[in-house]
Amino acid sequence: MSENSPLVSIIMGVHLDEGTLSSSIKSILNQTYNNFEFIILNDGNDKEVRNVVNRIDDPRITLINQEKIGLTACLNIGIENSNGIFIARHDAGDFSHKRRLQTQVDYMLKHPSIALCGTFVNEKTESGHDLGITTFPTENTEIKENIISKNAFCHGSIMIVKEVLIEVGGYREDFLRAQDFDLWLRVINRFKIANLDLPLYSRIISKSSISFLYGQSQDAYADVALKCYRARLSNESEPLHLLKDITDESLNEKQANKVEIKYNFYCGRKLYQNENMKLARGYFLKALKSGPFSLKNATFLVLTLLPKIIRTPIAGFWFQVKKLFGLKID
């Protein structure tokens, strides 16, 4: 292939097939960009995952079956087995627009100073409600200004220069969660980054996602990643020892209730942002049923009942307060 068509290595870790694996894989195989290899890590050597991949039977796929080691370690094995100039991520069950790879490669070749590039994301609920497009900061300076308080990338949508990924140390396997956030913070120390303002990636928001099931421990890992970032800026030792104190939440009835609240609030918030007040109200009501003492849920439920001319300045004030105090923005 020519310099204008460099090899791209797509890496995907998968533990189980939740019914969308085949179509997720085919969204990569149907790309308009042809010069790629697709490395799939079967984390736990699941029989059904093997069957799905074997039925597709495409020579561009390399299937690696292994014992359960977790996503972070899987990604590093994928990198070790890759041959591409660029590494692209794709999460199992998600979908890449057919021009995703072509668009990202074109952008990276046109902007050689950019080391990592993500995209906007279209999201849907488990029941099929369209949550609209999730946007991210696009320019290097804007991303670096917002990365501490706001999620700056969708992990599954990113493409990164392989040399850069290796140079910063790949994924750190001590980060069982928030491994992507830790990577972003190490990349921005030394390289420029960007997001394309195009929804080239789609995902179904599921209650079984790590963000909902293990949100507390994920936040704890992210907090350590941030402390490490600040330590590097001050030329101090990274406090990686803090990772050993993090434990996952117990998946009991109480935790299941928290997941229900978080999921319904997230969906309601997205629908609220897209001005679908009727559907948003339904999700906020579900969240309140599971957590009747949540001021946040109650506030947004009330906002859905107000005319736009009133709710817009109230919501804007809330956003500015959260940003001022460095709070995580919903």
pLDDT tens digit at each of 330 positions of the chain: 456 799 999 999 999 888 899 999 999 999 999 999 999 999 999 999 999 999 998 999 999 999 999 999 999 999 999 999 999 999 999 999 999 999 999 999 999 999 999 999 999 999 999 999 999 999 999 999 988 877 799 999 999 999 999 999 999 999 999 999 999 999 998 999 999 999 999 999 998 888 888 888 999 999 999 999 999 999 999 999 999 999 887 767 777 888 899 999 999 999 998 899 999 999 999 999 988 878 888 888 999 998 988 888 877 777 677 667 665 545
Q: Which residue, of 206, 224, 248, is where some domain finishes?
A: 206
Return phi, psi of residue 161, to 5°. Answer: -65, 125
Is 41 found in the same domain as 184?
A: yes
- Please give the pLDDT value at position 250: 72
Is 120 domain-assigned?
yes
Domains identified in the chain, total number: 2
Is 164 found in the same domain as 36?
A: yes
- H or E stretch including 9? strand 8-14
Is 171 found in the same domain as 303?
A: no
- Please give the pLDDT value at position 325: 67
Is 54 found in the same domain as 178?
A: yes
Is 114 found in the same domain as 177?
A: yes
Is 263 found in the same domain as 201?
A: no
Is 46 found in the same domain as 145?
A: yes
Is 298 domain-assigned?
yes
Q: In which domain, by residue range, is 141 found?
A: 8-206
Is 173 found in the same domain as 68?
A: yes
Is 247 domain-assigned?
no
Is 244 domain-assigned?
no
Is 34 found in the same domain as 95?
A: yes
**CATH number for the domain that contains residue 145:** 3.90.550.10
Cα-based angle 209, 215, 217 (whole degrees, multiple of 5):
120
Is 294 found in the same domain as 151?
A: no
- Please give the pLDDT value at position 329: 47
Is 103 found in the same domain as 199?
A: yes
Is 158 found in the same domain as 95?
A: yes
Cross-strand partners of 265: none
CB-CB neighbours of 182 under 10 Å: 24
List CB contacts of 93: < 8 A, sequence separation 6 or more: 18, 20, 21, 24, 203, 204, 206
User: Pick from 25, 22, 63: which is nearest to 41 by CA?
Assistant: 63
- Please give the pLDDT value at position 148: 84
CB-CB neighbours of 138 under 10 Å: 16
Is 214 domain-assigned?
no
Q: Give pTM, 2 decimals.
A: 0.89
Q: Which residue, of 206, 228, 245, is where some domain finishes?
A: 206
Is 236 domain-assigned?
no
Is 2 domain-assigned?
no
Q: Which residue, of 177, 206, 235, is where some domain finishes?
A: 206
Is 53 domain-assigned?
yes
